[in-house]
Structures are given as C-alpha cells and as structure tokens.
C-alpha cells in the first residue's frame, strides 16, 4: 500500500538515527557530517559537525548528547566546549560503527557494519558493544548480521534489527548492563532489510526497510500489521510529537555517499498513526 506523508524538511544528504526530544526531532545527516534537529514547523538547526560521520544518537541522564562517530569507530559526547571522546571502539568493532540505543543509566549499545558495505564486500557477522558513561566498553553480543537500529521495551528488553538477516533479535537487559536470553523477536518477510526501528505502546515495532522501500509494523512472533511504500526509501523511523503519534521517517533516494551528497534528496517526512510511541529511544 502506498503511504501519503508530509515533508517536514528536505535538501538533506542522508538523514539517519532520528530521535524525538524536547519538542524537536534530532537526527544525523550522515554524508554531510553533521547532527541536526528540526521542530514541527520545519525550522532546522545545525547542532555539531562530526568529521568521522555521525550515526546513532542518545542522551546521558544529565542531558548531554552522545553521538556515534562511524569511520573512526568512536563514541563521542557533546560537552559545552565541544565533542569529547567517551570511548574508542576500534579494537572491538569489526568495521565502521552504526546505530545505537542508550538506556536510562546512560549505557550505550552500539552496533557496527561487520564489513565494508560501500565497496561490495561480502556480509560478515558483527558485534553489539556496550559503553558505560565512564567510557568502559565490552562486547555484549556477537554473530549479528549487521546490527542496526535498536530499541529498549519496558526497560528490560533490548531488540536490535539485523539488517542482513531479515529479523529482529531480542535480549533481556540485565541490571548490570549485560544481555542474556538471546532469541528471535520476529522473522521478517523475504527481501526486508530492517534498518532504523522504533517501538509503540502496544508492543509493536515500526521498521524502515530501505532495500525493499517499505515501512513495516511488526509484532513479536513476526505478525505484520502494517506495510507501506513511501515515495522515497525509508532508512529510519521514530515516533514523536506531543502525543508520540507522529511517525517521522528519514528517507532518501540513495545511501551511496557520493550520490547522496550530489543529489541531496534526503527528507524528514511525517505521518500520523493511532498507537503512540513507547520505550527508548
């Protein structure tokens, strides 16, 4: 089914990692090397430059922004004086870093590509890495096929999208930050590549599938309740707005870095949904 959306912001290179916070949608414009935000009137702000290409975003309990720096494989924190390194993950990550989710304790769960996506290398499994606010890091799960967007549901369940395995994988989130009880949360239809994801108040997960050009809502066990095709391929999604019933889509015509910078076809689009957002991010 086609999906009619409203364009909130356009002219971006490649928007990713959308997060709703304090009346604004925050996101990374990856191939423009910057973090931005936009309000519901479409007024955009350039927050900070990230030369290593920004991806996942999150916040510490004290309100400071965390940013994944992809190509140099670092987690950064935005302090009043600028960006500060929280942790260098190059010794733990198989390839460039990717999306992340941050829990209520400020622990960041960061995925990575596992292989060189932009140069047609064969897919390889990768790790999910936890980073504490103090900068301690460790691998908490491995063997994941392109761990991408992640959500935390009910404070105790972490679900990560495995883009190249067409599935959502769940873990129990332990109080010490470790993960246990690994299981398949949903096996997705053939051809679906789950990228950015977000959760709603009835236990559903919205996922963007860029290679099939779809926006999908799935339930635990694999039931698909909604399946739409926007005009542009969606790469990530986030529920926000005052009632968390506005679904924001990060869309683009291409993910190729040079084509994205040349075309600047990236958009933030919106559509209203019935079930409000829940959980983190």
Tens-digit pLDDT profile for residues 25-38: 999 999 999 999 99
pLDDT at 138: 98
- The CATH class, in words, for 6-272 is mainly beta
Extents of the domains making up the chain: 6-272
Does the pTM surpass 0.95? The reply is yes
The string of DSSP codes covering the chain is -B---EEEEEEES-EEEEEEETTEEEEEEGGGTEEEEEETT--EEEEEE-TT-EEEEEE-TTS-EEEEETTTTEEEEEETTEEEEEEE-TTT-SSSEEEEEE-TTS-EEEEE-SS-GGGTPPP--EEEEEE-TTS-EEEEEEEESSEEEEEEETTTEEEEEETTTTEEEEEEE-TTS-EEEEEEEEEPPTT----SEEEBTTS-EEEEETTTTEEEEE-TTS-EEEEEB-SSEEEEEEEESTTS-EEEEEEES---HHHHHHH--EEEEEEE-SSPB-SB-
pLDDT in tens, 239-259: 999 999 999 999 999 988 899
135 falls in which pLDDT band (50, 70, 90)? very high
């Amino acid at each position: 089914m086609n999906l009619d959306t409203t364009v909130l912001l356009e002219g971006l290179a490649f928007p990713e990692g959308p997060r709703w916070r304090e009346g604004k949608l925050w996101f990374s414009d990856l191939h423009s090397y910057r973090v931005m935000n936009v309000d519901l009137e479409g007024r955009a702000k350039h927050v900070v430059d990230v030369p290593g290409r920004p991806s996942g975003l999150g916040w510490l309990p004290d309100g400071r922004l965390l940013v994944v720096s992809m190509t140099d494989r670092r987690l950064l924190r935005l302090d009043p004086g600028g960006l500060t390194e929280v942790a260098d993950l190059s010794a733990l990550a198989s390839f460039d870093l990717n999306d992340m989710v941050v829990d209520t304790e400020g622990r960041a769960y960061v995925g990575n590509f596992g292989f060189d996506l932009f140069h047609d290398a064969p897919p390889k499994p990768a790790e999910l890495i936890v980073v504490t606010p103090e900068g301690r890091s460790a691998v908490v799960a491995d063997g994941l096929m392109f761990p991408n967007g992640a959500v935390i549901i009910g404070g105790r369940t972490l679900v990560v999208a495995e883009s190249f395995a067409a599935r959502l994988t769940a873990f129990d989130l332990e109080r010490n930050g470790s993960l246990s009880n690994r299981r398949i949360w949903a096996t997705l239809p053939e051809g679906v590549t789950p990228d950015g994801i977000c959760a709603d108040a009835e236990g559903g997960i919205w996922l963007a599938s860029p290679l099939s050009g779809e926006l999908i809502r799935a339930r635990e066990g694999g039931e698909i309740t909604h399946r739409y095709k926007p005009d542009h391929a969606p790469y990530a999604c986030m529920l926000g707005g005052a009632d968390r019933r506005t679904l924001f889509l990060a869309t683009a015509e291409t993910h190729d870095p040079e084509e994205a910078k040349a075309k600047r076809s990236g958009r933030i689009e919106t559509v209203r949904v019935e079930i409000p957002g829940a959980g983190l991010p």
